Structure 1
Amino acid sequence: MTIHPRPYSRIREKKYLGTVIMQLRDLEFKGIAVKPGTMAVSYGMCFFDELIIKNTEDINFEEVSISFHNCYIRQLTIEDIHSTNISVHFHACMLSGTISAGELISVSLNNCLLEYSIFLLNLQKVELSYTTENIFLRSWREMFKLRKINSLEAYLKEFQRYHIENIINLHVRSSRKDDDKPGVYLMSYNTLPEYKIGYKLKQAEEEALKVALHIDFTAAQADKTTKIENLSLHSLSLSGNPGGKVTIEKINVGNWYLSEFSPKEEVSFYNIDPRSPHDEETKMGIHRCNLDKVWFDNVYFGDFDRLSFYRSKFSNAVFTSCSFPNDYETYEKFLPIENIHYPGKRTINHHKDQYEIFLQLKKALEATGNIYEGLKLQTISQTALSKISSVKGGDKFILSTNHLSNNHGLSISKPFFWFIGVTVVFYLFYLLTAGLLFKSTDIDPDLIGYYFSFIDITHRTDFLKDKNADLNALSLTLDYFNKVIVSYLIFQFVAAFRKYGKK
């Protein structure tokens, strides 16, 4: 079946079975006066089993804008378009298919539900949006009846997959209830009053809709702008070599993947954290990427359940106001694995690869003056270094003692308490070997004062008793080892105290 829509026609509540070819011709538009601000062709509450939109000739009209409102399109195909003044718009529709006509001015989808997925390829301009202010309940009710949907909650559990490739100008957004929490509010029940559409709406979470964005930037098309903002996504995947500016901000994402992603211009990720988990693990995977032109601002790396950095370069990336874990045990989830979905499949040089990751992060953080996070990466990287099998035993001993004494230069409390504990024990043993402890006479209060002489590393051997007459070999040995350990702990204390003064 072939249809030839006429300008300013409004088609309502029609059911098209089988394959329908919408042929756009200049004949139907010839001699028709343009009505500014009005869609040229409009379909509402229509059912399409399969719809193919075609155009093989120039149309002498200002803009051939085609809109679909609350329509169901089981399979959509828009590939063969010749005229350069055609745009297609979908509002509150249920659809799936492929749009790959590069001559289209623009394609927009607002508050749409996908029948699994849609492919948007080689287009000039794409706008995807989820907004609560223009949901019309009566229209939704009729469309759900048409589709025989009796459980909205079950439907929202299905993935909404957008495969986006080679888009010159891309904008993806949603409206929000407040300025702090992003979200997809398309069918958020607490934004809608109770209204029967064959069943009673129940309370559900705003993030029930599983929107998955896969965006691929290829070298064949010069993209200009890509902006994604104010969304709660089940997954976000970016790959390729964007040539224009990419801005992604205020995003909650459950699964975030960067694969062979090497931007040519500035890319900024701002205010990104894991989507509130229900029963799913949150993951972030960076695989074979060059992120030297990427700015991570307020990205909560430490809050993801699992992270993978595999054969990627990011030492020259900019990290500002980002959160990272505080200890090595938590950093263990930074896995240098090829596939983040298989955490147990580690490389032979797992700890060496981890060490290199931490060094890159440390370098990037210090380059922006973030000494605090850089110092944390210092101790984390040295802990990873101590686990590398090829590191010699002597080096591992040094690393382990540094970890125990001052946490690789970060802790001033560790050397202080070690100093108090070790010197008190050594002094008590010193007094015992010198015959000055557990005597039947009264306690000599001067012994407490002599403790401070004992911890002075420059004190004389006979500071308390005559060396030749009263001190034995064991007393002298304890005194000597005390001086060595005290010197080491003082050095560790000073090193940790000067951690912010290090270059």
Structure 2
Amino acid sequence: MDIPKFQGNEFQEGNIFKINPKYDFYNLYEDLEGLNVESDIYFEDVDFTFFKINFTRLKERNIKFTNCTFLKDIQLESKNKKISFSNCKLSDNDTVNISLRGKAELLEIEKCYFNNIEIKNFNTVEYLHITSALNSLSIENGNILNMSLFFQDCNLSKLTFGEVGFKRIEINGFGNTHFESFFVEAFCLTPENEKIISLEDLEDNERVDIERIFEYSFRINGFSSPDIYLLIENCPFVTISELKTDFFHMFMGSNIEHNTLRISDCDFKNGNLDSYLDKLKLHTLYLSRCSNFSCNNIEVEKVSLVNSFKGFVEFSNCIFQKLHFYDFKINHYLVLNNIFFEGEKHLGIDNSILNKVEINPSFLHQINSLYFNKSSIKGLEIYNFIGLNEEAIKSSKGFEISEKLSFYRELKSLAESSHNNYLYQQFKALEYNELLKDESQKITNLNKAILTLNKLSNNHGTNPLNALSWYLGFIIIYSLILFITFLSSGYSTETFLTFYSSNYTYLFNPFQYINSLERKDHIEDTAYIFNYAVKIWDILYNVAIGYLIYQFVASFRKFNR
């Protein structure tokens, strides 16, 4: 059979050079050696026995293969705009190997009947679009700046990326696609712009393995698979959402200061995040609407728990700087086990319900900054509860008095349920002090007076030194009043000193009054004579020291169990 030779502009129609003879092309590299056209080149209905072509001389051209048949290997050398395959098929093989040397702006494979595609050993493809039903796809050894893969209603058993450098990958529209294996081993070689992998709408897959993702952002969305395994290193931004899987195990390793992991709307039966090699360090960890997920041995600058959680969530042996709850509630349990705070040591609880949250041991005493807004900690379980840093609340901005009051009341109830009377008294005192400040409570003047006296005397049963200090202060002040009264009543200083040394116990006895004291330095006079005002002062003094003695004793109730 003759081998056609194409010269000049033969077969050219307008801006398209169309090649559609019914010939067997044995060596397209030699066959088209003399082809020199300025238009795009279309191959239609061509059966290729062997395919090797050099388009490097035909720069800025679009080359399209439509309804063509290939044996197995497609070797291209190109510097063209667009290379596309549409409705093409293989003659007697399941796998097509596409080797592209050179550069192309777009490599497109659309609605082709290739069971398995291998694309390897290429330089740079700016855009790769594949929309075909496949059994497997393997892309290795090259740079793809933007990759878009769309599979629908196919049985894609294996998807592999090996040593692929890119800025952005999107995989979506899987529909009823089924995976047996999903493997990624990719290296980002392009420093520009986004660097994102996006995997979306994957359903009913037996196993997904994604390993060694380097230096770019990674987004995975809409998986449904019994087993998903991820190994990610040095990735600045990872987003995982809408996964449904029995087993989800994610290992991360990072030396990046500002890396972020977002996991949302995922239904795991057993999900786990762990460190790869050394302890994992994250800048931000965002969890929302997840179930049955645990994190172990990680350090995070900021942890955000957002919206509703259906199943069990656990953090163990972790170090946080900031922990935030936003619109949080959980149906099962959130367990915070062996959590330590460093750096800012901030805890934020905003519009959240911490019922069924377990902290073991307590870390509240580590907190330096606290925000509490429209939330409840009723049902919170804290083991080894040793209190709260009061300065964390005082120094917090935007903490309204009514919110502080509500927070202290629930802490008081928490301490009471733990049978910790000491902390109960402490939080009760904080509650009453905020009650004095909160004008919205509209307490009566009498109750305000009682609360104020309790605050001054022993801080609502928590500080006996207050009562003792006031008690000693009243003794000194009343002693000065008596001294002045003695002098104004005509008594000498010596008489006052004699009175004081003989009756000093009177000053400590709230049930003894001054008019009952006998004068022992003068035989004829059996009592001191004072004016009416001194007797009034005497009554007030006895009431005051009696109250202070009671408050001093009452303040020791905080040690009762």
Which residue of structure 2 aligns with residue 165 of structure 1?
265
* Residue 433 in structure 1 maps to residue 495 in structure 2: no
**Equivalent position of 1:387 in the other structure:** 437
Whether 2:538 is the aligned partner of 1:484: answer: no
| Residues 451 and 89 (structure 1), Cα distance of their counterparts in 2 relative to 1, 3 Å cut | same
Identity of aligned residues (%): 17
- Which of 259, 262, 275 matches 1:174? 275
Residue of structure 1 in register with 2:147 after alignment: 19
Conserved? CA contact 2:117–2:137, under 8 Å: no
Alpha-carbon deviation of 1:492?
Answer: 0.3
CA distance in 2, matches of 1:440, 1:162: 82
Instruction: Give the counterpart of 1:459 among 512, 524, 531.
Output: 512
Q: Secondary structure at the match of 2:454?
A: helix
Quick one: structure 1 residues 315 and 158, their matched pair in 2 at CA, closer, same or farther if it must change by over 3 Å? Answer: closer
Distance (Å, rounded) in 1 between the aligned partners of 2:156 and 2:417 = 63
Partner residue in 2 for 1:227: 294
**How much does 1:399 deviate?**
1.6
**1:353 paired to 2:403:** yes
**Which residue of the partner structure matches residue 258 of structure 1?**
325
Choose between structure 1 and 2: higher strand proportion: 2
Paired residue secondary structure (1:260): strand
Q: Which amino acid aligns with 1:228?
A: C
- Provide the C-alpha distance between the structure 1 equivalents of 2:482 and 2:286, rounded to a whole number of angstroms: 70
- Using the size of structure 2 for normalisation, the TM-score is 0.64
Partner of 1:236: 303
Q: 1:88 to 1:475 in 2, by over 3 A?
A: same
Return the match for 1:285 from 348, 366, 374.
348
**Could you tell me how far apart the structure 1 residues matched to 2:354 and 2:293 are?**
17
Shift of 1:238: 1.6
> CA separation in 1, counterparts of 2:300 and 2:460?
39
Provide Cα deviations, 1:329-358, integer angstroms capped at 9, x if missing partner.
Answer: 543346xxxxxxxx45x7xxx423321221
Q: Find the counterpart in structure 1 of residue 522 from structure 2.
A: none
Query: Structure 1 residue 364 and structure 2 residue 411: aligned?
Result: no
| Structure 1 residues 446 and 300: CA distance shift in structure 2, 3 A | same
User: Judging changes above 3 Å, is the alpha-carbon distance between structure 1 residues 440 and 16 closer, same or farther for their aligned structure 2 residues?
Assistant: closer
Describe the shift of the 1:24–1:47 C-alpha distance in structure 2 as closer, same or farther (beyond 3 A): farther
* Distance in 2 of aligned mates of 1:12 and 1:26: 22
Which residue of the partner structure matches residue 199 of structure 2?
Answer: 78
Q: 1:86 and 1:176 mapped to 2: Cα distance?
A: 24
- Of 490, 495, 501, the match for 2:554: 495
Counterpart in 2 of 1:103?
224
- Matching residue of 2:393: 331
Partner of 2:251: 129
Q: Which runs of 5+ in 2 are unaligned?
A: 1-107, 110-115, 120-134, 520-524
What is the alpha-carbon distance in structure 1 between the residues aligned to residue 461 and residue 352 of structure 2? 32
Name the CA shift for 1:92/1:248 in 2 (closer, same or farther; >3 Å). Answer: same
Count of residues paired in the alignment: 417
In structure 2, relative to structure 1, the CA distance for the partners of 1:271 and 1:28 (3 Å cut) is closer
SS in structure 2 of the partner of residue 262 of structure 1? strand
Tell me how far apart the structure 2 counterparts of residues 290 and 28 of structure 1 sit (CA, whole Å).
43
> Which residue of structure 1 lines up, in the alignment, with residue 287 of structure 2?
215
Contact 2:218 2:235 in 1 (8 A): no
Q: Tell me which residue corresponds to 2:117.
A: 4
Paired residues of 1:430 and 1:478 also in contact (CA < 8 A): no
Separation in structure 1 between the aligned mates of residue 242 and residue 381 of structure 2, nearest angstrom: 31
Pairwise CA RMSD of aligned residues?
Answer: 3.7
The separation in 2 between residues aligned to 1:361 and 1:71, in whole angstroms, is: 50
Q: Deviations over 1:85-129 (max 9, x none)?
A: 231223252333432243233334434333544233223143333
Residue type matched to 1:385 in 2?
L
Query: What is the distance in 2 between the residues matched to 1:422 and 1:325?
Result: 34
Q: Does 1:401 align with 2:450?
A: no
Q: From the CA coordinates, give the structure whose radius of gyration is larger.
A: 2
Distance in 1, Cα, partners of 2:277 & 2:423: 32
Greater relative contact order (CA < 8 Å, ≥ 6 in sequence):
1
C-alpha contact (below 8 Å) 1:130/1:175 kept by paired residues: yes
Give unpaired runs (5+ residues) of structure 1: 30-39, 133-151, 178-182, 186-208, 335-342
1:118 aligns with 2:249: no
Q: Secondary structure at the match of 2:325?
A: strand
Q: Please say if residues 368 and 389 of structure 2, whose CA atoms lie closer than 8 Å, have aligned partners that are also in contact.
A: no
1:276 aligns with 2:343: yes
Indicate how the Cα distance of structure 1 residues 83 and 386 shifts in structure 2: closer, same or farther if over 3 A, else same. closer
CA contact (8 A) 2:217 2:237 kept: yes
**Shift in Å at residue 302 of structure 1?**
4.8
Q: 1:354 to 1:236 in 2, by over 3 A?
A: same
Give the deviation of 1:80 after TM superposition: 4.3
- Structure 1 pair 101/437, CA: closer, same or farther in 2 (3 Å)? farther
3-state SS of 1:391 partner: coil
Structure 2 equivalent of residue 37 of structure 1: none
Q: Check whether the contact 2:486–2:496 (CA below 8 A) recurs between aligned residues.
A: no
Corresponding residue for residue 476 of structure 2: 424
Separation of aligned partners in 1, 2:458 and 2:317:
38
Aligned to 1:197: none
Does structure 2 conserve the Cα–Cα contact (< 8 Å) formed by 1:402 and 1:408?
A: yes
- Compare 423-432 and 8-17 and name the one that shifted more: 8-17
